[in-house]
Amino acid sequence: MSPEQQRIIEQGEWFKNRSPYLKSFLLTQGKTLSLNAQQSLFLRGDQHDGLYAVLSGVVRVSGVSSEGKEAVLSFIDSSLWFGELTLFDGGLRTHDVHAQTNVTLFFVPQRCLGQLLNEQPKYWQDFGLLLAQKLRVMFSSMEDQALLTAEQKVCKRLLMLSEHSDVNKALVLSQQQLADMSYLTRQTINQILQHLVSLKAISLGYQRITILDKQKLKVLATQT
């Protein structure tokens, strides 16, 4: 891992608050790997193989119906860890994960994690905190679906997707993918995005949404 890649991992909220020993263990036991855009990392039903962190690019978490229709659940960008759910139950992967863009990942194999947790079970709490962070986001999203207007949902989702990105850095996603995540129709998404463009809060390109004014989105996400 390069110094720049280590700096990116250190920026992540979960990793930077871990003990020096756990940080060192993860960094020395893991390795980097790269995927091209649209390449799969793992699919629903695959065996658990370990824990991942995004060093660059964005990965897409989704499910696919029996007819082959993909429903996008979320995107994961740099400094964020994922794959911890199956660490707890030893079960199969619950969703598909693909590279949305070209990505570089950091991977810590299951055998290393299992050895650590068998020898020092106190570290289960650290991985439990990682899982709890995801549960908090999930519960918040469920509440949003029940209480927010369509425009509020879209603004809040865009803010969430851009949380770890600078202003004027494009989000790589289609309007249909944003519709899937917001539980809205593509037509409704298009109308809302065009309104946000008119307010100069965002700009649009081919499968690109660029946040121009996060503060304006924050106001729109909370105003009644």
Cα(7)–Cα(48) distance, rounded to whole angstroms? 27
Instruction: Output the six-digit token pair for 35.
Output: 């995927």
Instruction: Calculate Rg over the CA atoms of the chain.
Output: 18
- Do 52 and 41 contact (CB within 8 A), yes or no? yes
For the entire predicted model, the pTM comes to 0.87
Backbone angles phi, psi at 44, to 5 degrees: -55, 130
Secondary structure of residue 198 in the 3-state scheme: helix
- Do 129 and 14 contact (CB within 8 A), yes or no? yes
Residues 6 or more apart whose CB falls under 8 angstroms from that of 122 comprise none
pLDDT tens-place values along the chain, 224 residues long? 899 999 999 999 999 999 999 999 999 999 999 999 999 999 999 999 999 999 999 999 999 888 888 888 899 999 999 999 999 999 999 999 999 999 999 999 999 999 999 999 999 999 999 999 999 988 988 888 889 999 999 999 999 888 876 667 789 999 999 998 888 999 999 999 999 999 999 999 998 999 999 999 999 998 86
pLDDT at 223: 80
pLDDT at 64: 87
- Do 92 and 48 contact (CB within 8 A), yes or no? yes
Domains of the chain: 3-145 (2.60.120.10), 149-221 (1.10.10.10)
